[in-house]
Amino acid sequence: MLEKYLNTIVCGDCLDTMRKMPDNSVDLVVTSPPYNLKNSTGNGMKKGSRGKWAGAALQNGYTHHDDCMPHEEYVEWQRNCLTEMFRLIKNTGAIFYNHKWRVQNGLMQDRQDIVGGFPIRQIIIWRRKGGLNFNPGYFLPTYEIIYLIAKSDFFLLPKANAVGDVWEFTQEMKNDHPAPFPVALVERIIGSTDAQIILDPFMGSGTTAIAATNLKRNYIGIELSPDYCIMANARILRETGQESFNIQKSSLFATTNNENIHERKFNPIS
């Protein structure tokens, strides 16, 4: 049943797709969801805001997701996604879940409302180059968080555990996606394990697929935006010489750029 997903990008909703996949069927999840940055108290992300972010890709949002869900709905969505990811990984598997802490209404959001209750084994700091700070009340944030959420029998390859938990990787700059992962960062994660099937439910521009292919592993990608599915397919072909077949090709043309994911309702997992 899983074979039809291997080395493909499913153009569709990640929750709907994951719920069709069998339990304990993937070795590793590496993903970075939308951060809901535009639901903000003043970081300049809201569309039309002036300043350094004016006209930037992130301020304009994603093509099929405006990154501005009510906070409680966003938390429920992400917890549902993590629940499905956790169901899908084997007992030897793990989830590497990249997110970002931020200050909202003067208080730190450390995402515990999202990741609380999941078996977090470690927090990895991804230190980026530079950044922008619109708030004089705190220092410039220059890092993001990667939560290692692991099942009981997950282990790194020999000597891989000698790498520290603070990683410095420059952001991906030559990429039309508004928030791309660096390929080298994902290669470090995958290359530290013997995982053969890697899932990314928020595939974006295809970075996880490229890293997995470079390391001769299999990937499964899910991406809501038809625009990013097309972008990812072209990028994977360009950088690896292999083409990713989109299972739901018809949805590439049936979905309009005006559809926003936050207008859709998700059923909580009981």
pLDDT of residue 250: 41
Tell me which long-range contacts 262-267 makes (C-beta under 8 A, separation of at least 24): 262/65, 262/66, 262/68, 262/69, 262/70, 262/73, 262/74, 264/13, 266/15, 266/76, 266/77, 266/80, 267/80
Cα-based distances in Å from 9 to 6, 57, 82, 131, 197: 9, 23, 19, 31, 13
pLDDT of residue 54: 45
pLDDT along the chain (270 residues), means of 10: 92 95 98 83 53 47 62 95 98 97 85 97 91 79 95 97 95 60 95 98 94 97 92 91 71 42 30
Structural domains of the chain ordered from first start? 2-263 (3.40.50.150)
pLDDT of residue 69: 82
Q: What pTM was computed for the model?
A: 0.83
Place of tokens 């928020």: 202
pLDDT of residue 13: 93
pLDDT of residue 119: 98
Cα-based distances in Å from 3 to 155, 197, 251, 267: 25, 11, 21, 27
pLDDT of residue 176: 57
pLDDT of residue 132: 72
State both tokens at 47: 């569309």
pLDDT of residue 122: 98
Cα-based distances in Å from 79 to 16, 75, 102: 14, 6, 18
